Structure formats: C-alpha cells, structure tokens
Structure 1
Amino acid sequence: MTSSQNPLVFITGASSGIGQALAARYAQAGYRLALVARRTAEMQTWADAQGLGADRCAVYGADVADIDSIVTAGQACIAAQGVPAVVIANAGVSIGMDTAEREDLDVMARTLAINNTGLAATFHPFVSAMRERGSGALVGIASVAAIRGLPGHGAYCASKAAVVAYCESLRGELRGSGVAVVTLLPGYVDTPLTRKNRYSMPFLLSAEAFAARAFDAIRAQTSYRVIPWQMGVVVKLLRVLPNAWFDRLLVGRARKPRQSTPPPAGH
C-alpha cells in the first residue's frame, strides 16, 4: 500500500510517555499517525526525528479539557487524513488531592474534565463516521486505580473508574455496528507522571513494553484488559478484599503529591 492507503491512528496525549510510545509502535506497524497534544512543537520534533514526513504523520494542537478544542482537532483530522481505524483517548492527568483543601476541588474538576469529558469529546467526531463505515476501534485508557479508591488519589481513582463505566456504556451502544470499544487498564508504567510517585510500583513496565501489549490488545479488539496481567490478578484480589482489611492494608501508604495547578495532560 502507498502511505495514503495505510490505516490511520489518532492518539491524544502523544507528546510523551504512553502516548508517544503508542505512536512509535503504530508507526512501526505502518500506520499513519494523527498526534494530538498541547505541546505541538515537541510532537513535531519527535516525528521529524523518527523520519515521519507529512504523508505519515500530522500534528494537531488541542487541550482535551476544552471540548471545542479537541472536537475541532478530530474534525480537522477527518478533513485532512480521513476517518481513523483506531482512536486512542490517552490524554490524562494524575494528581493527588485532599478534599479538605479548597484548591484541590479545582484540581479534581480539571482532572475529570481531562480524563472523562475529554475522553468522550475525543471520541465524538469519529463515532458516526465509524458507525457508517462499519469498522473502527475506540480505545479508552483507564488504570488499575479504577478498581479501588486509594487515599489521596480520590480525583484520579474516581476519574478512571468513570472511564471504565463510560467505555462499557459506549460498547453497548455500538454493539453490532462493527465499531469496537477497547478499555485498557495500565498498571505502573514508567512515565514522567509516575516518576513523581513516592511509593513502590510493582510490575513496573517501560512505556514501550506497555505500548507493545496495548497494540496487540487493540488489534484483537479485546473489550477489557489489564496490562500487565500480573496487576490484573492483584486488583482482582483487592476487589474482593473486605473493606476493613483493605483499609488496614493502606495505613501509612505514601500518597500522590498534591499540586494546585494541574500540569498539561499526558500519561
């Protein structure tokens, strides 16, 4: 196939971490790329370094917390490159919070705006076009933090639990249309965000290792997958643990750092 005939993947939060690793994996597989983030210069520098010309990669600037911004980026992608085969709503933030602190309510509001409303807005431009075509995959990046609430992680855990529920709802809506909805729950992945964590991170994966496994899950149109599988076992055990035992297990555990001003979206 010529490059214009190659399948297209649309990835948000593509300027670093998981998003950039996914872009590299899809480029390796021959896909054309539509990369979205606030930091367009960094994405273009990366694309140039990979030898990805304009026929292989387009960069779109958008803030997923702004509905019109990310919807416009999706519409621009369709106009310039066509309807993607895969859309990956990867952009997200992870910030500690304390409900007793007024400024942390603003942090929570922005976390939900990015991780939840931004995810739905990312999918919005593509749903009708994919349904009409009868194919495609919409991929939501959740987290194992969706399984149980962790002290100091209220905003993040709530937002990722909502990603799982939202994607499940969307999957039901699109059943029989040919459009798959894939929910991925990363465990600990080595990214700029997780390097700020002050607690142990078992089964830590490199971003590249996660991207390789995610690519396989998306290609298989797996509806729900925890990566790595070992974390899947751990979270299933935590889910059935009685509340009193679970609460006792977390006593003294370090919490995610708080931050009054959320950073740009990314995984």
Structure 2
Amino acid sequence: MPYFSQIQRVFITGASSGIGQALAAAYAGPGVQLGLLGRDAARLESTAALVRARGGLPHCFSADVRDADAMQDIAATFIASAGVPQVLIANAGVSVGTLTQCPEDSSTFREVMDTNWLGMVHTFSAFLPAMLAAGEGRLAGIASVAGFRGLPGAGAYSASKAATISYLESLRLELAGSGLAVSTICPGYVDTPMTRINPYPMPWLMTPERAAARMRRAIDRGQAWLVLPRPMSWIGWVLRHLPIKVYDLLFRQAPRKPRRVSG
C-alpha cells in the first residue's frame, strides 16, 4: 500500500490530552483539516490552539464515543465541512483499576469496555461508509501492550485492549482490497495523565511527542501492527508466549492500577 504523503484531512478521538493531543500536533500543518473529539471542551481547546499554531484548521467536537448516535452526527458534520478524512484515529480511552469481587466496580467495567472497545467501533462505523466510497484511507486504533495478557487489578482495561486488538484484526481482514489500511497500535508506557496515576515503575517511558511521531509513520504507511518502543515489542512477544504457570508465578503479585474509590 502506498505511503500517504499529502494528508489534508484527519480525525482523532481522545484528542484533549496525552497521545491524542500529541497525534493532533504531529498531523497539524498548513491547511490541514483536523477533527478533534474529546469529552473536556476546555482541554480540547488547548489542542486546537496547538493545531492553529502549526497552521492547521481544527474542528472541535465535545462528545463521548460511547454515544453511537452522536458519533454519526459528528461524522456527518465533519465530512460536510472538511471532507472525508484520509486518516481516522480511534484513540479515546480510559484506564482505571477494577476488581471483580467488588460489586461497586461493575459500572467501571462497563465504562472501560464501552469506551475503549465499543467507542472504537462507534468511531469507525460513523466514518467507514464515506471512507469506503472514497476508496482510500488509514484507520488506526490505539490498543496497548496491556491487551497481550491479563494483568491483576486491571481486568477491565486488559480485557478492553485485548478486545480492540482482535477487533482491529477482524476489521483489517474485512477491509482487505478496499484501499483502506487498518493499523493496530500497541504502546507501552507513555507519559500522559492516564499513566501518571500508576504507583509503580514504568520502564521505557516515552514522551507523547516521540510516541506520536512513531505512530504517524506507521499509520501513514499503512503498517498493520506496531508495538512501541522497540524493547516493549520484545518483552510483549515473550509475555504472549510464556507458559501459564510461569506467567502466573511472575505476575500474580504485580503492582495494580488504583481503583476509583467513591466516598
């Protein structure tokens, strides 16, 4: 698949901070139409300011990817004003610790799955008919190395990212020959508000800017699979192939993500 060198229309979810904001900055340039979606309108405006500073033309949408009808309306609005996106990045996500034995975490399980996995489905579903009609484009989903194996205290997050990995593979096969490429992006630790709550060491921690630059290269060339940084790809391969007994011995006492405790 040819490398995309002239990209003028991009849409990114989860664009108000972290990886999404860095991706917006990476794609921003003179005349580039950038659709930016996030739940926090004030933080989304800070991303829009970065885009404008680089000559880009931001289109801001304050919405939740869990709302399928809203995503359909937003896609129609963006396409009507800016055109069909050449690059569509489903980046919106939440990360929080969960425990199955705590009934109060049930709503958190649903929120994480609905945002990280179903929100990606809603995003792609809203834009795909127009992108298929255009006959070319890039779709990228931000998954995680946390989706390779289940992690204690992160049942919802690991499951949601495992679901996105499998979903993106299915989508890639479904779209084969359509002119649309699907990229599965699995970052390790990136320095964002989401990871700063982690109470444990994060090896090979990347800046959002460095991560976004690497992601853009992979997306633009239609690369099907990317794990970053490179050492994490090696570690990820090992983890996926460890026998269950060895994996359980190594990870059953692993540090856990903080839960959302109300009160």
Scaled by the length of structure 2, the TM-score of the pair is 0.93
Pair 142,46 (structure 1): closer, same or farther in 2 beyond 3 Å? closer
Partner in structure 2 of residue 222 of structure 1: 223
Kindly provide the amino acid, as one letter, of the partner of residue 144 in structure 1. V
* Structure 1 gap ranges (5+): 262-267
* Structure 2 gap ranges (5+): 1-5
2:188 maps to 1:187: yes
Kindly provide the amino acid, as one letter, of the partner of residue 256 in structure 1. K
Partner in structure 2 of residue 247 of structure 1: 248
Q: Give me the whole-angstrom Cα distance separating, in 2, the residues matched to 1:6 and 1:106.
A: 39
Moved more, 35-44 or 143-152: 35-44
Residue 51 of structure 1 and its aligned partner are, at CA, apart by 3.3
Q: Give me the whole-angstrom Cα distance separating, in 2, the residues matched to 1:182 and 1:40.
A: 28
Moved more, 145-154 or 26-35: 26-35
Q: Give me the whole-angstrom Cα distance separating, in 2, the residues matched to 1:252 and 1:167.
A: 31
Pair 62,54 (structure 1): closer, same or farther in 2 beyond 3 Å? farther
Q: Give me the whole-angstrom Cα distance separating, in 2, the residues matched to 1:58 and 1:64.
A: 16
Residue 221 of structure 1 and its aligned partner are, at CA, apart by 0.5
Q: Give me the whole-angstrom Cα distance separating, in 2, the residues matched to 1:29 and 1:18.
A: 21
Kindly provide the amino acid, as one letter, of the partner of residue 241 in structure 1. L
Tell me, what secondary structure is at the counterpart of 2:196? helix
Q: Give me the whole-angstrom Cα distance separating, in 2, the residues matched to 1:143 and 1:210.
A: 13
**Equivalence map 1:82-101=2 (5 Å):** 82-101=83-102
Identity %: 47
2:228 maps to 1:233: no
Tell me, what secondary structure is at the counterpart of 1:59? strand
Q: Give me the whole-angstrom Cα distance separating, in 2, the residues matched to 1:25 and 1:53.
A: 10
2:183 maps to 1:171: no
Partner in structure 2 of residue 7 of structure 1: 8
Q: Give me the whole-angstrom Cα distance separating, in 2, the residues matched to 1:229 and 1:80.
A: 39
Partner in structure 1 of residue 131 of structure 2: 130
Partner in structure 1 of residue 204 of structure 2: 203
Equivalent pair of 1:149/1:157 in contact (CA under 8 Å) = yes
Tell me, what secondary structure is at the counterpart of 1:68? helix
Q: Give me the whole-angstrom Cα distance separating, in 1, the residues matched to 2:93 and 2:176.
A: 26
Q: Give me the whole-angstrom Cα distance separating, in 2, the residues matched to 1:144 and 1:29.
A: 34
Equivalent pair of 1:65/1:118 in contact (CA under 8 Å) = yes
Spell out, residue by residue over 1:107-165, the C-alpha distance to the aligned partner (whole angstroms, 9 max, x if none): 01111110111101001121111111110111110000110100001000000000011
Equivalent pair of 1:135/1:178 in contact (CA under 8 Å) = yes
Quick one: higher RCO (CA 8 Å, sep 6+), 1 or 2? 1
Q: Give me the whole-angstrom Cα distance separating, in 2, the residues matched to 1:27 and 1:185.
A: 22
Partner in structure 1 of residue 60 of structure 2: 59
Spell out, residue by residue over 1:20-77, the C-alpha distance to the aligned partner (whole angstroms, 9 max, x if none): 0000000148632110011123222442355359971111111112222222222211
Tell me, what secondary structure is at the counterpart of 1:159? helix
Partner in structure 2 of residue 114 of structure 1: 115
Q: Give me the whole-angstrom Cα distance separating, in 1, the residues matched to 2:242 and 2:31.
A: 44
**Equivalence map 1:14-93=2 (5 Å):** 14-28=15-29, 31-48=32-49, 50-52=51-53, 56-93=57-94
Equivalent pair of 1:67/1:117 in contact (CA under 8 Å) = no
Kindly provide the amino acid, as one letter, of the partner of residue 250 in structure 2. L
Partner in structure 1 of residue 213 of structure 2: 212
Equivalent pair of 1:67/1:121 in contact (CA under 8 Å) = yes
Q: Give me the whole-angstrom Cα distance separating, in 2, the residues matched to 1:258 and 1:187.
A: 20
Residue 190 of structure 1 and its aligned partner are, at CA, apart by 0.3
Partner in structure 1 of residue 3 of structure 2: none
Partner in structure 2 of residue 257 of structure 1: 258
Partner in structure 2 of residue 264 of structure 1: none
Equivalent pair of 1:167/1:183 in contact (CA under 8 Å) = yes
CA-based RMSD of the aligned residues comes to 1.8
Q: Give me the whole-angstrom Cα distance separating, in 2, the residues matched to 1:164 and 1:55.
A: 31
Scaled by the length of structure 1, the TM-score of the pair is 0.91
Residue 87 of structure 1 and its aligned partner are, at CA, apart by 0.5
